[in-house]
Amino acid sequence: MANNIETFNMKVRNYNDAVNRGDVAVYSEIGAEMLRMALGECSKPGIGEALKSQYRNQCDHIITRFMKDSKRAGVPARAGAGTEAVDPYYTEKDWFSDDVPELNFTDIIGVQEVKDAFMVDVIAPLHPDCREIYHTFRGDQLGTQILLYGPPGTGKTHIVKCLAGALGCKIAVVQTSEILASIVGVAEKHMRDVFAQASELDRCIIFIDEIDSLCSDRDSIDSRNTKSILTTMLTCMDGFVKTKSPEQLRIIVAATNLPWKLDAALKRGGRFEKQIYVPLPDYSARKKFVNIELEHVPHAEDVTDEYLADKFDGFSGADIKAAMRQIANRPLRREIEHILRERKGAQGEVITLGDCEAVLSSYISVTTPEMMEQFDIYRRGL
């Protein structure tokens, strides 16, 4: 990381030198390199806010200069953009995939309460036998806005893709890294684009992952670079799910591991008033996860789904899959070492209890007791 910021700072000095010389071609080229580098660095996990701010501040200066240069050069504005000059960093993107996910609720392991909530709020009003009673209680609004929250790795993204498949909806999966990696001003344009493209579809789902990165409490330090994005999103959300015909269905789903960090305006009535907790897998779900991983992998008779389901208590689905891959890698490594050393065929290695214990004794789950306690406090409204 240190080498990267040193390289970036060197580019800053070269950029400033070119600006002082009035060498437009040089500082334009260096500026473009700096923007690309800043995007890459800011999208990396674990980067500190101070470093992000340093990158963004420099990029703001570059974008401002690019805009001034384009105006001086008489660059025409985009269609429908009034007198606004072309943003040299803005690139239109198709947020919605052309394909509907080939998934259904049967592809979701466990979390029955989550599936039941979707059945009542989303699926039921579309079912001929339920439509009349739904309208009796809820009126004509078919769309909904839902916040999924829970520990990391519990399959929130997968659940939304299964919902899209069940409804036959196109889905836009908006990763906040794609929004935050944009320069100030461009991020807001991307957010408006998502909703503009959705408004052209009869049935669609907008899914915003890790929404806490975009919409943290406006009074917190974390929000100093995202307040305008939050404001843009709130404006776009208002009235979006109201449909004009029975065929239309518009759903906004957001996911977060940190619901307590979200701005209160996002969770008020008319926005993400429906919040659904996605829990860690229970014993039955853990057995299913284990069975999927063990199904085609040689293993000893005493390595059972019951044994591993007990051992994986407190693990998320993603952690179970990761740990099982590490367990399977142990006999695989023994086989490869044997083949390379002995120059013979495989010797029939299998997953053993020793392999399981070795991995589980050192595996670090991202889900901690402190985290689960915090979720419990939030769910109880304390």
How far is 207 from 253, CA to CA, in rounded Å? Answer: 5
Residue 73 CB contacts under 8 Å (≥ 6 apart), including other chains: none
Q: What angle do CA 269, 118, 280 make, to 5 degrees?
A: 100
User: Domain ends where: 277, 298, 328?
Assistant: 277
Same-domain pairing of 150 and 273: yes
Is position 83 within any domain? no
Same-domain pairing of 288 and 319: yes
Domain of 12, in residue numbers? 2-72
Same-domain pairing of 59 and 30: yes
pLDDT score recorded for residue 79: 37
Phi and psi at residue 212, to the nearest 5°? -60, -25
Residue 344 CB contacts under 8 Å (≥ 6 apart), including other chains: 338
User: Domain ends where: 249, 277, 305?
Assistant: 277
Same-domain pairing of 131 and 248: yes
If one counts the domains in the chain, the total is 3
What is the sign of the dihedral through the CA atoms of 226, 32, 42 and 6?
negative
Same-domain pairing of 340 and 249: no
Is position 372 within any domain? no
pLDDT score recorded for residue 326: 95
Q: For residue 193, count CB atoms less than 10 angstroms from its CB and return exposed for 0-12, middle for 13-18, buried for 19 or more.
A: middle
Sheet strands side by side (includes 144-149):
170-175, 203-209, 249-256, 144-149, 274-277
DSSP bridge partners of 50: none
Is position 138 within any domain? yes
CATH at 180: 3.40.50.300
Is position 256 within any domain? yes
Q: Give the number of residues written for the chain.
A: 382
pLDDT score recorded for residue 73: 47
Same-domain pairing of 271 and 288: no
Is position 174 within any domain? yes
pLDDT score recorded for residue 206: 92
Is position 357 within any domain? yes
Query: Is 318:144 a contact under the CB 8 Å cutoff?
Result: no
Same-domain pairing of 265 and 169: yes
CATH at 351: 1.10.8.60
Phi and psi at residue 121, to the nearest 5°? -85, -25
Say if pTM beats, i.e. exceeds, 0.85.
no
Same-domain pairing of 172 and 269: yes
* Distance from chain centroid for Cα 222: 18
DSSP bridge partners of 196: none
Same-domain pairing of 259 and 174: yes
Query: Is 118:158 a contact under the CB 8 Å cutoff?
Result: no
pLDDT score recorded for residue 308: 95
Same-domain pairing of 257 and 324: no
Is position 334 within any domain? yes
User: Domain ends where: 57, 72, 87?
Assistant: 72
Same-domain pairing of 325 and 267: no
* Distance from chain centroid for Cα 36: 21
Tens-of-pLDDT digits for all 382 residues of the chain? 556 778 888 888 888 888 778 777 787 788 788 887 877 777 777 777 777 777 777 777 777 666 665 545 444 434 334 434 445 556 678 888 888 888 888 899 988 888 888 888 777 777 778 878 877 887 766 678 899 999 999 999 999 999 999 888 899 998 877 776 555 567 788 888 899 999 888 888 999 998 888 877 766 665 566 777 888 888 888 888 777 776 778 889 999 999 998 888 888 877 888 899 999 999 999 999 999 999 989 999 999 999 999 999 999 999 999 999 999 999 999 999 988 888 777 788 999 999 999 999 999 888 889 999 999 999 888 6
Which residue type occupies 376? D
Same-domain pairing of 251 and 327: no
User: HSE-up of 67 (CA within 13 Å, CB side)?
Assistant: 16
